[in-house]
Amino acid sequence: EVQLVESGGGLVQPGRSLRLSCAASGFTFDDYAMHWVRQAPGKGLEWVSGITWNSGSIGYADSVKGRFTISRDNAKNSLYLQMNSLRAEDTALYYCAKDMGTHWGQGTLVTVSS
Amino acid sequence: QSVLTQPPSVSAAPGQKVTISCSGSSSNIGNNYVSWYQQLPGTAPKLLIYDNNKRPSGIPDRFSGSKSGTSATLGITGLQTGDEADYYCGTWDSSLSAGGVFGGGTKLTVL
């Protein structure tokens, strides 16, 4: 069974940093691209960032470009999102998603507030 | 403002059929496969349709997808109260140059 478990969310002040993790199991992690997708309270889905199986291609939404960094460790079956210079508008539930959204984690909540 | 355009809400009676539209452009839907997701209240999105019209195992054939040009449509027949959810269309650029884009979501109410 595919499982994606996000962690690392929490309450953080504007301008600070946070690192999210996603632990994957139940599939061959290094066969698939992975993505971060977020959902602000009461809002729709927003793609944040994606990374191919070998980290050879990485993409970011314009809203996070230059502030967020996606990475993966295939040996640890883990996906990461380093978030710097956080803003109030980054407040959202952050989901880890496999491939073309075939599977999603339950999300980790990031709240940016002073 | 979402890249893909969906109606904010649709409604129909139990047992009836409903369709949800998703409009994009040649840079997204026009040149990529479309997926559809169901998000029940308080839960993570779940894949309903991928590659425009394919259903993952376990998804009933009451759910169907189609694509024409720069638009896509999700169809749900035999509506059940348990189908009340938000539905999102999405398309993924495999090169990651544009990444993923989603519609704003459609709230389905089963009257």
pLDDT tens-digit series, residues B68-94: 999 999 999 999 999 999 999 999 765
What is the SS3 assignment for B81?
Answer: helix
What is the SS3 assignment for A75?
Answer: helix
How do residues B51-72 score in pLDDT, each as one tens digit?
Answer: 999 999 999 999 999 999 999 9
Of A47, A57, A106, the CB nearest to B44: A106
Tell me if B47 and A50 make a contact (CB, 8 A cut-off): no
Question: What is the per-residue pLDDT for B28?
Answer: 87
**Cα nearest neighbour of B56 on chain A:** A102
**Cα nearest neighbour of B89 on chain A:** A45
Integer-rounded Cα radius of gyration of chain A: 13
Would the pLDDT of B95 be above 60?
no
Among candidate residues A74, A68, A23, A31, the one with its CA nearest the CA of residue A49: A68
Average pLDDT over residues A87-113: 96
